[in-house]
Structure 1
Amino acid sequence: MTGREPSVAAQVLGWCARTPDAIAVSQGERRWTYRELGQAVGGVAAELQAAGVRPGQVVAVTAHRSLALAAAWVAVLLHRGVLLPLDPALPPAARSGMLTRAGARVDLLAGNIDAPAHPGVPVLRVCGQPRVFLRRVGPAADPGPVGAGYVFFTSGSTGVPKAILGRHRSLAAFLTWLRSALGVTPADRIAHLSGPGFDVSLREVFLPLTSGARLCLPPPGPVSPGAVLPWLAESGVTLVHTVPTVARAWLRFAPTGVHLPQLRAVLFSGEPLTDTLITRWRTQLDYQGVIVNQYGPTETTLIRCWHPVTMPVPGIQPLGRPIPGSEAWIEDPSDVHAPAGTVGEIVIRTAYGTSGYLGDDALTAAKFTFGGPGGEVTYRTGDLGSIDEDGLLHFHGRTDDQVKIHGVRFHLHGVEAALEAQPGIDQAAVTTEPGVDGSPPRLTAHLLLCAGHDRIPAGLRAALLDRLPAAAVPSRLLVVDALPRTLASGKLDRHRLTTPTPSEPHGIRPAASHLKDTL
């Protein structure tokens, strides 16, 4: 990984020339060879150029997971545009806000999309096979920063979504490293299951297409959690990425007896990965392949730390070691590098970073430092961690999920991991509410029980006291039918968790379900 790798689009088109008859993308019975993919990409890129869209301008692509999405994304990068992937399922107000904040000059609708028009953002419509239909395109605007390649909005799981401006060079370098690290070959089949608005979809779409492998798409339309694992098995998928919350839903609703003999690697990121989930994944699926825990905020170009899990440690798994071209360290509140074992803020420096927050210079200045000796970008993550004597990075929660009760400071993720280690508990989410009249905050545990369980496990509080300080044991235990997830990434959405009123008893089961039933 040198930073001088061919662009992502050049790598894809290279395979279109070398293996034109190999299958590039499949979705159900539909197939595109690399020759057909190249034709579609060339058609869309030519239309962008003819329409006056200039390199460096933001091109929104509104599309479901589809063959058309793959062609449109590659075409935008080939044109040296700035790709803004948008999920058609976004509420109109959210979609409109993203188009405005990103400064999109055109909205490319790929596939059979019926998206509302947005003032000032004309539409370029791409339908079906390589043929392109041009409606109208607005006047050219000034190009964005040199090297700008894509815009993604953060998940919003920890606050208001922010627009992050990524770089062509950083994405190409990351894919080159990942291909080597995973040993990806043209024989691989890689699933695209993430929402188009989640930055992981860049890896899911472009890793196979820059490797001569096959991009495997689930059937069009909503896919229920219970259908995902059977589809992975039927499609012979060899590599898949998921978020722990999503993986739990797959396991929870999967038919009995599903196995994944072709799957050789599963990549987890986005949330803390626990030993209990790893054990369930291996046991329920009879899975013998590689499990990798990954870490890296969207602000640092996908992932920056990597940890193949061999023997899981109790609780939350390490985030691992930095990948080539990256560094990670811990800083204390006075911005001093902390020694091994000390908990502080995780800081990442990489030669393959992003350009910060689009349209928010003040926040960019507060979180990023540019201009290292090798062009590195340093980012203050807001995550808390520590580095052990072996050099492994460990996660300790967000700076904003620290809780202090009766003088004891702890993190909600640690409480959740302790709950999920108890028999009968599938997933836990812990929230806080302010105390009354100066009393300490109170913790509520929202518990999703394992199939076949309908009550909180007996002796739960006593079991928790063996793992947690008394102040960290939730005072309220709420059984829920489901936990809310963000639209793009499927991460736990803490802002939508419901806290019971003081009159509600422990173990109440609400009538409404918060679980997003489809991908």
Structure 2
Amino acid sequence: MPAFNRDATVHGAFARRTFAAPFAIAIAEAGATHSYDALERRSNRLARYLEARGIRRGERVALLTQRSADTVVAMLAILKVGAAFVPLDPAYPPARLAGMLHDAAPALVIGRAALAPDIAEAAVDRFVEQASALAAADAFPAEALPERAEAGDPAYVMYTSGSTGRPKGVVVPHRAIVRLVSEQNYARFAPDEVILHLAPLAFDASTFEIWGALLNGARLAVVPGAQPSLDDIVGAVAAHGVTTAWFTAGLFHLLVDQRLEGLRPLRQILTGGDVVSPTHVRRARQALPGCRFVNGYGPTENTTFSTCHPIETDEDRPLPIGRPIAHSTAHVLDEELRPVAAGETGQLCVGGEGLAIGYLNAPELTAGKFRFVPSVGERLYLTGDVARCRPDGVYEFLGRMDQQVKIDGKRIEIEEIETALRNEPDVADVAVVACGDTAAGNKRLLAFMKPAPQASHEGLVRTMGERLRRVLPAYMVPSGFHVVDALPLTANGKIDRAQLAALTVTAPPVAASLAPVAAPGTGIEATVARIWGEVLGLSHVPRDVSFFELGGTSLRLMSLHARLGGLGWSPLTLVELFDHPTVASLAARLEAGSASDARLDVEAAARAGSRQAALRRLRDTRLGRAS
């Protein structure tokens, strides 16, 4: 592992790895491999193309694409001209993507128009197809440009959920990325590691995956597809001989429950993003005795990881988040930002070389969350997390000071959802609560709405999910909507969220209660409904209500896909489940597939019978017994 050089740029560190082993494999994807030298030369050409397009130091270039070697080439090229890349998730609603583009004001958007046609059309004056840009870059020299950036310059802007009602862009410098994967103590980085690339580009786990591999001479193994299934994940682990992987807590739990054998090649598993179940860790440690497990903690504002805890013993209590990783600091402070004694609770504040520059176009928000703290003598990010430091120096996470939650490893500001709901003319007031158990995989969001006088109560419930999906990512849309005459208040006049959360214990999903009451039929439909109920934690599942309206998330969809795959029906891709979101439509698809399979079996048997008859006739002819 190279020593940490706080003056290094990301692309400079990559160039040094290329010089040390130019023909080592840097990226493996879909049967193809790419050497370090090939990535260096292609990114040099693309960087020259970008300069010819007028891209200069300090500007931003948006990436509207997916995991691939071509995307990594684009990232390197953008950094080499001194610009910063802005990864955007094509799965986001067009309105949300448009807002991010407006805020980031990129000089250029590199992407695939097919992934987000509305955005490509809206940004037509500065949109270039990824394949076209790479093809045009072939005409440029492959020699490296002179250094255009410094270690403290922005390397990327990554958007997170915002308490102000709109996403906020976290500006991360080169130094913070290099610090994450250089001379580190929380994981092993070496040329013989193969690191899984599974995270979406707009999720900061991708920073660990991409640069953990490429700044250490290791290999990056790309999981194909925008919506990989559990089988896709373990298939990539097996095909590429993956040794290191990062999984959100929810995905880790799901893999342990349903695909534990597929994790056997791994030597390191890092997990986090939410509370990790000790039970699942214990099962994984027993099944994978040669694997090292790490519980990681860290906000995007401190570049993926701030503290990490190597899990070396079986524990029944909640797992701690560990100690600060190398080149990082952590402090538990009181309301006056003074250190508390060991064992006392306070706000966890983190710092060191991984600290972000701040929020894009939000100086007041930056000043409030990134503070120089005289009591400890350094600039810190105030996480809003409640924690304590044990006498042995290990930190424990205890919860949040505000309404931020994590679901399936994704950070969600409740205020952003509530703002979107209040923007609806039929909603007078609203409160959103998170309920359920994270470790059990059933945490969900529910919205309680006070309707405007003219609003139809049933119409609100029936249509609100679809309305929100136009402005919010799917993971931020509540799975149930309740109409109330008034929101309960505490003694000091604030919304009593605890009382609302208690109501959800016995209340069924509202979408289900207002949906047509037709129950699932028999046969395949009944089996599908039973499996849905197990995945969603529901005793009754209507046949024509969307999986997502009943509380489904992308992670629960992966669980559903894995369970269906074990029943011997015609294989389904994960994407097909999005196309058949109700019990009725999915059962019809499975029945059609089964009928098609049966027909093919009959035809194959007939063909086989014809071949056997022909062989018998040929044999009889040779023996002189032809009729």
In the superposition, the TM-score normalised over structure 2's length comes to 0.63
RMSD of equivalent CA atoms: 3.7
Rounded to whole Å, the distance in 1 between the matches of 2:5 and 2:22 is 27
2:175 equivalent to 1:169: yes
CA deviation map 1:240-268 (0-9, x unaligned) = 011111223334453xx724333111111
The aligned runs of 1:72-471 (5 Å cut-off) are: 72-109=74-111, 115=117, 116-119=120-123, 122-127=126-131, 131-132=135-136, 147-155=153-161, 160-178=166-184, 181-254=186-259, 258-283=261-286, 286=288, 288-370=290-372, 376-401=378-403, 416=437, 420=439, 426-429=440-443, 436=488, 441=497
CA contact (8 A) 2:337 2:373 kept: no
Rounded to whole Å, the distance in 1 between the matches of 2:349 and 2:115 is 40
* Aligned-pair CA distance for 1:377: 2.7
CA contact (8 A) 2:372 2:380 kept: yes
Q: 1:144/1:339 Cα in 2 relative to 1: closer, same or farther (>3 Å)?
A: same
* Aligned-pair CA distance for 1:74: 1.4
CA deviation map 1:62-99 (0-9, x unaligned) = 21111111111111112221111122222221111111
* Aligned-pair CA distance for 1:227: 3.0
* Aligned-pair CA distance for 1:163: 0.8
Q: What residue number does 1:31 align with? A: 33
Q: What residue number does 2:475 align with? A: none
Q: Which amino acid aligns with 2:349?
A: V
Rounded to whole Å, the distance in 1 between the matches of 2:164 and 2:212 is 28
Q: Which amino acid aligns with 2:64?
A: T
* Aligned-pair CA distance for 1:233: 2.5
Rounded to whole Å, the distance in 1 between the matches of 2:281 and 2:50 is 45
Rounded to whole Å, the distance in 2 between the matches of 1:198 and 1:3 is 25
Give SS of 1:428's match: coil
Give SS of 1:151's match: strand
Rounded to whole Å, the distance in 1 between the matches of 2:386 and 2:131 is 46
Q: Percent identity?
A: 27
Q: 1:377/1:125 Cα in 2 relative to 1: closer, same or farther (>3 Å)?
A: farther
Q: 1:20/1:128 Cα in 2 relative to 1: closer, same or farther (>3 Å)?
A: farther
CA contact (8 A) 1:20 1:35 kept: yes
Q: 1:444/1:277 Cα in 2 relative to 1: closer, same or farther (>3 Å)?
A: farther
* Aligned-pair CA distance for 1:395: 0.6
* Aligned-pair CA distance for 1:17: 2.8
CA deviation map 1:453-485 (0-9, x unaligned) = xxxxxxxxxxxxxxxxxxx998438699xxxxx
Q: 1:197/1:125 Cα in 2 relative to 1: closer, same or farther (>3 Å)?
A: same
Say which of 58, 69, 72 aligns to 1:70: 72
Rounded to whole Å, the distance in 2 between the matches of 1:479 and 1:282 is 37
Rounded to whole Å, the distance in 1 between the matches of 2:271 and 2:234 is 15
Say which of 42, 45, 62 aligns to 1:43: 45
* Aligned-pair CA distance for 1:2: 5.1
* Aligned-pair CA distance for 1:382: 0.7
105-114 or 60-69: bigger deviation: 105-114
CA deviation map 1:126-163 (0-9, x unaligned) = 318953369xxxxxxxx999612210011569974311
Q: 1:51/1:392 Cα in 2 relative to 1: closer, same or farther (>3 Å)?
A: same
CA contact (8 A) 1:66 1:220 kept: no
Say which of 473, 476, 492 aligns to 2:506: 476
* Aligned-pair CA distance for 1:277: 2.6
CA contact (8 A) 1:104 1:121 kept: no
Q: How many residue pairs are counted as aligned between the two chains?
A: 443
CA contact (8 A) 2:89 2:201 kept: yes
Q: 1:129/1:120 Cα in 2 relative to 1: closer, same or farther (>3 Å)?
A: closer
Q: Which amino acid aligns with 1:277?
A: H
Rounded to whole Å, the distance in 2 between the matches of 1:46 and 1:313 is 53
Rounded to whole Å, the distance in 1 between the matches of 2:13 and 2:341 is 42
Say which of 505, 515, 519 aligns to 2:553: 515
Give SS of 2:358's match: coil
CA deviation map 1:469-517 (0-9, x unaligned) = xxx998438699xxxxxxxxxxxxxxxxxxxxxxxx9855565322224
Q: 1:266/1:81 Cα in 2 relative to 1: closer, same or farther (>3 Å)?
A: same
2:33 equivalent to 1:12: no
* Aligned-pair CA distance for 1:210: 1.1
CA contact (8 A) 2:319 2:396 kept: yes
CA contact (8 A) 1:72 1:110 kept: no
Give SS of 1:228's match: helix
In the superposition, the TM-score normalised over structure 1's length comes to 0.75
* Aligned-pair CA distance for 1:399: 1.0
CA deviation map 1:162-200 (0-9, x unaligned) = 11111112212222134x653322111111100110011
Q: 1:477/1:189 Cα in 2 relative to 1: closer, same or farther (>3 Å)?
A: farther
Give SS of 2:342's match: coil
Give SS of 2:368's match: helix
Q: Which amino acid aligns with 1:278?
A: V
Q: Which amino acid aligns with 1:90?
A: Y
Rounded to whole Å, the distance in 1 between the matches of 2:127 and 2:373 is 37
Structure with greater helix percent: 2
